[in-house]
Structure 1
Amino acid sequence: MTPPRVGGDADGAGTSPAIDTSKPHPARMYDYFLGGKDHYEVDQEAAERFILAAPEVRLAVRANRRFMHRAVRHVVREGGVRQILDIGTGLPTEPNVHQIARAVAPGTRVAYVDNDPIVSAHSRSLLDDDDHTSVVLADLRDPRAVLDHPDVRRVIDFDQPVALLLVAVLHFLTEEEDPDAVVATLLDALPAGSHLVLSHATVDIHDDAREDAVNVYRNATATMNPRGRARVLRFFGDLALVEPGLVLVPDWRPDEPPQADAPPIGIYGGVARKNG
């Protein structure tokens, strides 16, 4: 995520905001960690500094992505959800959310939201001919603008259950930006039967608190703000967490037993349902 921009698709003006390549961007660094090619030299340099400080990061982002796969399958198959609002989607990586969901329930509708114009451009190039998806340039820090965006409303019917995905994005909001209010605004717009899929970076499991790695983001377009389990748990409010609750992402309903020698992964993940 990047700081909010003035103009552009997010406010319906139809102009393209300038792409800032002078600073590393979290979405492009994430792409580098995943082994993608949609990044710039500044992103690669920052990502390599992060890897030196937190060598498990490549395993961590893959574990986070596998968690997202399992969580999406759960909300579609067991939760019966047929529309998904994915905020902070990042650069498209196959299989993406709509592909995972439609493998379970064809026709599932997905609105992708990100505030990086590079993400928006790449996603639109892949999905422009898909009537059941939309790609929206908007910022999580302004949740009302996300909810009211016409391209979100074109795909998402807020009278029917929605799966809200906030995967590895809330840790780019500072406490001063009031992430609790952001999440509450989004959840208040969702009807009963909706689900929240959330993952969030933590330094609970590392003695050095990964300070050198976190500091890499101080020169990026968004800082990283890892949080402890109790703090992350607050984002779920009064939603009902499904088993096994809020756990490290490799431990959330794994498809196979974890490797005995795998390093600890500092990302919490959980799925919760909004009851009536």
Structure 2
Amino acid sequence: MRKSVAAIMVAGAAVFAGPAFAADLPSYPPIIEVPELPPVDKDLGGAFYLRGSAAWNIHWTKDVDAYDCVCDEVSFPVEDWGYGYSFGGGFGYETGTGLRFDATVDYLQNEGSSITKTGFGAGVDGDYSLKLRSTIALANVYYDFSLGDGFGGYGHHKGYSAGGGAFAYVGAGAGVAFNKVSVDGPAGNPIPGGDNVSLAAAGMVGVGYDFGAFTTDVGYRGLYISEVTNDQPAPAGFSSDNNFVHEVRGTVRYKF
């Protein structure tokens, strides 16, 4: 009898305690709240790049210093501009905020700049044409800005980014030019060639399109070379200061 009463009491306690204990257990499966992560900004971000360029150019300088028959230096006005081309490559980094930097090396060829000597007699009078071969090494900085509506890959009012689309740019560079100069003169008056190293600088402006991994652009580069000379003594020396090379230039960049 006692055992029966004890069993009934235990069963009754279980009936009343069971719901209270179950109320304290967590629901299944448990709900875990994960804080929302901020969206990833895919538009802005830096990238290294390789570049290759090709250009058509014209060369202009005001005059060429040469020598008369008694070896006095005389300035002769340039009558014809020179024409040529250039090509080269480089390595750089774009920050994703509009600024980018690169170092470039270009090979430049130009010929046709000419002067005319008169009044010095046979063998000296005539047309002299200059040929220029230069290796141009420059450190450059650019700023790219969107030509879109400020949305899409460029972000809202954030300027240029790596997201893609049409853009324009301005830039400047400074460095050195390794020049090799030859001169074609009248028959019977050969002029030896020579070379020199000179300061160089550049200004750039253009438009382009960013496809993502590849970017293309076309623009103008004004190249300044402080001195071009065949570095020969009188009477064979020819030199020109303040040389300007105007280029229409196309470029392809690969980002990685």
Structure with the higher fraction of residues in strand conformation: 2
Q: TM-score with structure 2 length normalisation? A: 0.19
Larger Rg belongs to: 2
- Bigger relative CO (Cα 8 Å, ≥ 6 apart): 1
Structure with the higher fraction of residues in helix conformation: 1
